[in-house]
Amino acid sequence: MSRVEEICRRLSASIENPASELIHASEYEFLVAVVLSAQTTDVQVNKVTEKLFRRRRSMDDVLNLGLEGLQREIRSIGLYRNKAKNILALTKMLKEKFNSIVPDSPEELESLPGVGRKTANVVLSNLFHKPAIAVDTHVLRLSKRLGLSDGKTPLKVEEDLNAAIPADYKKDISNLLVLHGRYTCKAQRPKCSVCVLRDLCDATSRRSEVPHSSGVKTGGSHAKSHG
């Protein structure tokens, strides 16, 4: 078994449910949540969407809010003005062009206002279980630490991961890296001493150990053990 395949195997074994932590009740709600999540934490997005979709479950309900109304609903989210504008525009486009159905191709998704390559790949992998690799800050950081890519841009890292990751793991690898990065391989205080990839990590030998308490956060229902 190759080193990369072993990394994937261990991550998959340690994280029971490698799914996005964005809460949603429909494909449309997930798309909106991903658009909102740019430069914002999933925790904050979940707070906003829980309130937003509690009473407004349909696309028409969201459109009826209008720009000012939607801005009020999501104003605690970074870049909320532009995101509100994009959400209304993409909602209208979904209704008029896609029969109110979230499309499952990268080209169609990226034709929607506010949906770039990363957002499209998050939707494709999570909703439609396609081998689309979304590169966020966690994936960028871990790809470098694990020696999976030395790319400086999300696109280059995505290309390197597509070339390196075995086909069976491609649809889950982004979420596996995000969850591992969120709960174990943190940016400032990585929990190297409890990491399942400690002996496979290029960065471990260059990093001094930081003392940790015995309690290890597992990330709730998503993890068996992030260590």
Is 146 in the same domain as 65?
no
First CA to last CA across the chain, in angstroms?
A: 21
Which of 127, 159, 190 is where one domain is finished? Answer: 127
pLDDT tens, 146-201?
A: 999 999 999 999 999 999 999 999 999 999 999 999 999 999 999 999 999 999 98
Please check whether residue 108 lies inside any domain of the structure. yes
> Do 123 and 136 share a domain, yes or no?
no
Same domain membership, residue 138 and residue 82: no
pLDDT in tens, 182-196: 999 999 999 999 999
Nearest to 35 by CA among 114, 121, 125, 122: 114
State which of 127, 146, 166 marks the end of a domain: 127
74 and 156 co-located in one domain: no
- Whether residue 120 sits in one domain with residue 45: yes
pLDDT at 56 over 90: no
For residue 112, tell me if it sits in a domain. Answer: yes
Inter-residue contact 113 to 86 (CB < 8 Å)? yes
Are 119 and 195 members of one domain?
Answer: no
Domain that holds residue 34: 27-127
In tens, the pLDDT along 59-104 reads 999 999 999 999 999 999 999 999 999 999 999 999 999 999 999 9
218: in domain:
yes
Examine the domain organization and report whether 68 and 150 are in the same domain: no
Task: Kindly list the catalytic residues.
Answer: 118, 136
Domain total for the chain?
2
Whichever domain contains 188, its CATH number is 1.10.1670.10
pTM given for the model: 0.86
Question: Residue range 34-50: average pLDDT?
Answer: 95
CATH number at residue 50: 1.10.340.30
**Closest C-alpha to 114, from 90, 79, 94:** 90
**What's the CA gap between 116 and 226, in Å, rounded?**
30
Same domain (yes/no): 137, 170: yes
Q: Are residues 166 and 213 in the same domain?
A: yes
Segment 211-221, tens digit of pLDDT: 433 333 333 33
Let me know if residue 22 belongs to a domain.
no
227 found inside a domain: no
Residues 80 and 7 in one domain: no
Last residue of a domain, one of 95, 127, 159: 127
Based on the fold, state whether residues 32 and 10 are members of the same structural domain: no
Question: CA-to-CA distance for 24 and 114, rounded, in angstroms?
Answer: 19
Q: How many CA atoms lie within 13 A of 98 on its CB side?
A: 19
Residue 206 has pLDDT above 90, yes or no: no
How does residue 12 score in pLDDT terms, banded at 50, 70 and 90?
A: very high
Residue 203 lies in a domain: yes
